[in-house]
Amino acid sequence: MSDVIIITGAGQRLGLHCALTLKQAGFQVLATYRSEKAGVQQMRDAGINCYQLDVCDTEQLSEFISHIKQHYQKLRAVIHNASDWRADAITDVSNNVSNDAAIYDAMQAVHAKAPYIINRALAPLLANSSVADIIHITDFVASVGSSKHMAYAASKSALTNLTFSFARALAPKVKVNAIAPALLMFNQDDSDAYKTKALNKSLLQLEPGANEMANCVTYLLNSRYITGKVLELDGGRPLNLP
């Protein structure tokens, strides 16, 4: 049987491309998705095992973990790609405390709490493989913050910190790393003005596409000596100074 890789939030965009790439590379891929999308059927057609899961729902998460433990004795990798992107609440709306709390809790739930629970629960299965990986997909803003997406940035920063903690806790059996992308691909409805502004933020000023993420994932899987690191996939954006 081929090595098993779990990737969360793989129904579209970067997650979808990574799941298809890993399947083509010969891995047995189990991909989770929150809601039905065209990409989910595309994965099924490619022979990927798809599992509907809202990682923020503790009961669903518990059932998913039980399913994995019942059907697999070891895992090659877990890739945490499931994500949500919510702007902070407008400060002048009524009941702002409740809005802020809901957004903050939601961001932490998907980006930090779920990976924490999954990693701890599935660590024994990862340790059963001769080589194993956990890969956290974080974000460029985890290191610089965000004025309009503070809760999101804080949750991605928490995931970055979990990278270091799990790397220490699971060594030498499991390598644990993170990938922190900035712009990789636009959405279909992004305006030309937005695209120009976004491209100008990095030194390389290009939209590299989803394959850049798949290349980084493959690089980490192939390495035997990288752990506790964050690969900054950002086109030199931190160096694009005035």
Q: Strands 4-7, 28-33: parallel, antiparallel or unpaired by DSSP? A: parallel
Q: Which residues on adjacent β-strands are paired with residue 80?
A: 136
Q: Is-contact 26 46, C-beta < 8 A? A: no
Burial class (CB in 10 A: 0-12, 13-18, 19+), 146: middle
Give catalytic status of residue 152 as yes or no.
Answer: yes
Q: Strands 132-137, 77-80: parallel, antiparallel or unpaired by DSSP? A: parallel
How far apart CA 179 and CA 91 sit, in angstroms, is 32
* Given 51, 104, 116, 152, the catalytic residue: 152
Nearest residue to 213 (alpha-carbon basis) of 146, 121, 141, 138: 138
The alpha carbon of 40 is separated from its chain's Cα centroid by a whole number of angstroms, namely: 17
Q: If phi over 0 gives left and psi between -120 and 50 gives alpha, with beta otherwise, what is residue 58?
A: alpha
- Give the catalytic positions in this structure: 152
